[in-house]
Amino acid sequence: MNKDDPPGLSPETAAQRLREDGPNELGVSQRRTLLDMAWDVVREPMFLLLMGAGSIYLAMGDAHEAMILLGFVVIIMAVTVLQERRTDNALEALRDLSSPRALVLRGGETLRIPGREVVRDDVLLLAEGDRVPADGDLLQAHELATDESMLTGESEAVAKQLPEGRVFAGTMVVSGQGMVRVTATGRHTELGRIGQSLQSIELQASPLREEMARLTRRLVVIGVVLCVLLSGLFWMLRGGWLEAVLAGITLAMGILPQELPVIMIVFLALAARRLALQQVLTRRLNAIETLGQTTVLCVDKTGTLTQNRMAVAVLCVGEQTLDARELPPDSLPEPFHELLEYAVLASEIDPHDPMEQAFHLLARRQLENTEHLHPQWTLAREYELSPALLAMSHLWQGRETPHDVVAAKGAPEAVADLCHLSAEQLAQVTAQAVTMADRGLRVLGVAKAGHREGHDWPDIQHDFDFEWVGLVGLADPLRPEVPEAVSQCRRAGIRVVMITGDHPRTAAAIAAQAGIETTGVVTGDELAAMDPDTLGQRVTAVNVFARVKPHQKLALVEALKSQGEVVAMTGDGVNDAPALKAAHIGIAMGQRGTDVAREAASLVLLQDNFSSIVGAIHRGRRTFANLRQAMVYTLAVHVPIIGLALLPVLFGLPLVLAPLHIAFLELVIDPACSLVFEAEEGDGDLMERPPRRTSEPLLSISHVGLSLLQGGLATAAVVGLYAGLLSQGLDAGMASTAAFVVLVSANAVLILPSRSSQMRWKTLLSGLTSTSVWVLIGTLLALAAVTNLPPVARAFGFAVLAPGHWLAALAAGCSLLLLYQVSKVLMARAMRHWATA
């Protein structure tokens, strides 16, 4: 912040304005109300069937049964709505995190705050890539231009100049910098009057969601057809059309997989919330699904693999080289004063770039008491870095100088080109730069020039008569956790590709330290000369790309995708946005990234740390694995329910299940799926497996076969026990009670082998979460209540069993655990044999 800048609002005034005017939001709520959620639940087929069954009981004169069933409808609706609210809360928190950030002046300090906390009369600092958070008037502008297409429909950038310039909420800064005083926020902005919403995090179409929808539709059709057939069969065999309809409804309720879509969105939303706790913001929920398929991870070097804590390590002037890291204050030898002086002059006055901050820090320590610092000079013109010339220049004016002073810094080869060095000089500079780069240092060249006052400034840097000053080497240490994270990626079958703007030798040195294996280094100039076929071949073997310009990242992404790779790409600048959008998973740097990069990305790293990306990939794999196990379990537990609804009708036995019992079972199945499986840690070797193929379905033939086999075992046990008890002359009420105890206990213990795809017996109980324990305990307590408490048992149509008989039925159901695990092992062996046959 400069001393002439306004101090901005005091924190107390800003807080008071926020209370008075409310948050800087458009007032277009994306949050569903409880009434909306309840209405969505009521329209679900399962609840329509429950309501239909209750109505039939009333028509039959059984008001007591009808009221109990309708009570279950209310309970299930409440559980479902609470689950939906839990999901909405997770998504709402993500929307808050993903709202545009704002850089403001408050109380004389520069603060980064959420865009929703901007208030009237705040002083905003805008830079290229920022999303403007509110309407305001310009106080300062330097080559400022904004994209106002979302307001005007015109795609051409609009230049902003003093004194009448204004900026508008929702527009994007495409170039330059500016300072703005806020005049309107929220609904009072131009965008607020239009009523558009800027933020949306939702579950978009995806292969996984489409697969789930197909499975649900098929099961609904099967359920409806079997419902009609069973109702007709019941009426023909036994008469009584109301009872026939009830039997059909019971079967349909057993088949309908109303849990499937709920499970999926709960898993993804809660995974996004867990990622947020790991400092990874999910902007698109479908990215979690894709994370487990990632085969190539493209990352920046600076700040992602390295700590982004630049320090000047080496200074080189002529043939003299100096290690600058351990210098005491005011001890810099005189020959290096000019190099550090012009490095500072070629930097911003109040820099945010770590390299420029390193120059200023060293200059304050070494040049404070010399004539080489010029705080009284005025920055008159900036020449920006461009893809065509990797160098930037500043033109300064001072009263004591006979001419304007120009300072340049940039890639050594670019600055050498500005200086028109001789072949001998260029060879010497190149050799020095290579030596420094081989040490993993980031190397910059520095040059100086003069310009006569009163003459027009040149339009391009090449028109100055530059003189070479020297080289600066900056050290940016590798993050200590990176080598292990790269090794973990390798074990997981994920290639790590480093893309950097640094010197090729610097890139190669850092890659070697990180453990990134490569057959060579490809430069941006070499990329530009390649045709698509050649590039496609090179990206399969090369893992390090140096001197890459931002727009070339898009070509790399497309080349990798053309080779069948699933690409995750990191980026932080405006020019990275196309590559972030083109990648299967775009990952924006939250700390140093621009708003436009964040909005183009699927994930945002709130801490620019490579290990966070690896952690996100692990979370994606874990979520998919847990979702798959939940689906296998869900299908398996529906099989005995269908069997108990269908087989007694076919064999002329008394019915076991009524809609009321199905409602109870739904209260057991839903928490098991959404709580137990979502909380599972997953198999320990998740990051030792290759990435999931894009063609791999959520449920393969083996998974469906395992569900049917395990469900068939439970069906055989329950129906066999029920038929056996009836054949021995046991009362139908007691036999159905015993069958229900076996059914619920068998479904409960099926959770244990279903938690993991591992075949080892010790995995049955190892790593059991507290959630699993409480769900199992709660299920058994609920079962005991509905079968042993006389008032409750009568309401369910059960006869109270003797304690010994009840425990025997419970033990029979629990004993199926051994058969479940054996069936899991046998199915795995059968599938391996089938695959190799």
Q: Measured between alpha carbons, how far is 87 from 265 in angstroms, rounded to an integer?
A: 8
Going by C-alpha positions, the residue among 9, 16, 18, 20 that lies closest to residue 123 is: 9
Q: Measured between alpha carbons, how far is 83 from 670 in angstroms, rounded to an integer?
A: 10
Whether the Cβ atoms of residue 621 and residue 292 lie closer than 8 Å to each other: yes
Q: Measured between alpha carbons, how far is 686 from 623 in angstroms, rounded to an integer?
A: 11
Whether the Cβ atoms of residue 144 and residue 176 lie closer than 8 Å to each other: yes
The token duo for 184 is 């309107």
Cα 396-402-406 angle, rounded to 5 deg = 30
Q: Sign of torsion, CA 770 776 778 781?
A: negative
Query: Which residues are 323's β-sheet partners?
Result: 314
**Residue 480 gets which letter from DSSP?**
T
State the catalytic residues: 300
Going by C-alpha positions, the residue among 670, 661, 657, 658 that lies closest to residue 751 is: 670
Going by C-alpha positions, the residue among 607, 655, 812 that lies closest to residue 53 is: 655
Name the region of 652 (left: φ>0; alpha: ψ -120 to 50; beta: rest): left
SS (H, E, C) 782-815: HHHHHHHCHHHHHHHCCCCCCHHHHHHHHHHHHH
User: 3-state class of 269 per DSSP?
Assistant: helix
Q: Measured between alpha carbons, how far is 705 from 636 in angstroms, rounded to an integer?
A: 9
**Residue 678 gets which letter from DSSP?**
T
The token duo for 642 is 């269908």
User: 3-state class of 489 per DSSP?
Assistant: helix
Residue type, 102: A
331, 368, 679, 701 from 365: Cα distances, Å = 9, 6, 53, 69
Q: Measured between alpha carbons, how far is 181 from 134 in angstroms, rounded to an integer?
A: 9
User: 3-state class of 441 per DSSP?
Assistant: coil
Going by C-alpha positions, the residue among 26, 360, 394, 59 that lies closest to residue 184 is: 26
The token duo for 621 is 């794999």
Q: Measured between alpha carbons, how far is 24 from 18 in angstroms, rounded to an integer?
A: 8
Q: Measured between alpha carbons, how far is 470 from 629 in angstroms, rounded to an integer?
A: 62
218, 229, 637 from 222: Cα distances, Å = 6, 11, 17
Q: With 0-12 CB in 10 A as exposed, 13-18 as middle and 19+ as buried, what is 792? A: middle
Give me the residue label for tokens 């008037």: 137
The residue ranges of DSSP E strands in 324-465, in sequence order, are 378-383, 391-397, 404-410, 442-451
Going by C-alpha positions, the residue among 87, 167, 91, 163 that lies closest to residue 127 is: 167
Q: Measured between alpha carbons, how far is 679 from 756 in angstroms, rounded to an integer?
A: 12
52, 70, 663 from 47: Cα distances, Å = 8, 10, 10
Strand (E) or helix (H) holding 324: none
Q: Measured between alpha carbons, how far is 568 from 557 in angstroms, rounded to an integer?
A: 9
Q: Sign of torsion, CA 421 422 426 429?
A: negative
Residue type, 554: L
Q: Measured between alpha carbons, how far is 244 from 649 in angstroms, rounded to an integer?
A: 10
The token duo for 1 is 């912040």
